[in-house]
Chains A and B, each alone.
Chain A
Amino acid sequence: MATARIDAEPLKRLLRQAFDETMPELNSAFRDTIASPVFDWVRQTKRRNGETVGSPRNIVDLGVFLNSQSYQIIAPGNAEFTWTAPYAVHIYYGWTSRGGTEVKGRDWVKATFERFNLAEKYAEKVKAKL
């Protein structure tokens, strides 16, 4: 009788490490998107930082929203990105002012994944470790 056995632990460890090393790149990709002029807008705005912006524009004024971004590896192969600025949900889904102005949402997550190929980046990290 013969038995064959594979110790998958080193491979699992390698995959976890590759994932952990990919997340800082995704973190940077989210920040790059938020800071990039890729979001359409309907009018000019005088920002609190003094800048006058039109369309397309980025989502950075004083940087509170941008700097509220963080992430955490919550389980092997599972990361959670959060934006804790109190108006992050307003930026994402849009809002209506009491004066009746409708501001459309800006989906920086979708915009990031249109520019950043997560699967490809992860595969690169994995290949480099094999």
Chain B
Amino acid sequence: MTINVLSLRDRIFTALSAILGTYTYTNGQTTPALWVEGQNGQSALREKPKVTGLEVVIRPETDMPLTPVLRGGVIDYKTQVVLKQWDITKTTQQAIELLIRALQADLEAIAPRVPRNTDLDSIESCTLTLSNSYAWLLLN
């Protein structure tokens, strides 16, 4: 069974609601900085808003390596959750700890934090990978 992205979005929102940053659109509307990336890397957002604070980007099923097994197969669905800290005075550490608690069994890996670098003028980010496998067997 694959990860339900909307359910995942809700779980992440619940876990991080107190520390999530903000998207601000050109019309002044604001929403929590949490979005699900569409297929082929396209944004599900109509416009790219201004972002402040902690942003969370969900990249659903970014990789699906197929492992053949005897008369069947296993598809390993991987979903990435990318944390970006646009506030250069803060880190992603608290968000990582909260998501470890919230996502536990679905978490496969947490990449090292990529810290802010002043030479590159980069923001801090961290990628969490969730994995769900789907197996089938041919019977005849």
Using CB atoms and an 8 Å cutoff, list the residues of chain A in contact with chain B.
86-87, 89-90, 93-100
Is B111's CB under 8 angstroms from A96's CB? Answer: no
Interface of A (DSSP majority class): mixed
A-B contacts besides A87-B120, A96-B125, 8 pairs, CB < 8 Å:
A87-B119, A89-B115, A94-B114, A95-B120, A95-B123, A97-B122, A98-B122, A100-B48
Decide: A95 and B111 in contact? CB cutoff 8 A: no
B residues 109-127 with Cβ under 8 Å of A?
A: 111-112, 114-115, 117, 119-123, 125, 127
Judge whether B88 is part of the interface by a CB distance below 8 angstroms.
yes
* B78 within 8 A of partner (CB): no
CB proximity to A under 8 Å, residues B79-135: 84, 86, 88, 111-112, 114-115, 117, 119-123, 125, 127
In the bound complex, residues from chain A placing their C-beta under 8 Å from that of B88 are 98
**Measured between C-beta atoms, what is the minimum distance from B108 to chain A in Å?**
16
| 30 A/B residue pairs, CB under 8 Å, sorted by A | A86-B117, A87-B117, A87-B119, A89-B112, A89-B114, A89-B115, A90-B114, A90-B117, A90-B122, A93-B111, A93-B112, A93-B114, A93-B125, A93-B127, A94-B114, A95-B114, A95-B120, A95-B122, A95-B123, A95-B125, A96-B84, A97-B120, A97-B121, A97-B122, A97-B123, A98-B86, A98-B88, A98-B121, A98-B122, A99-B121
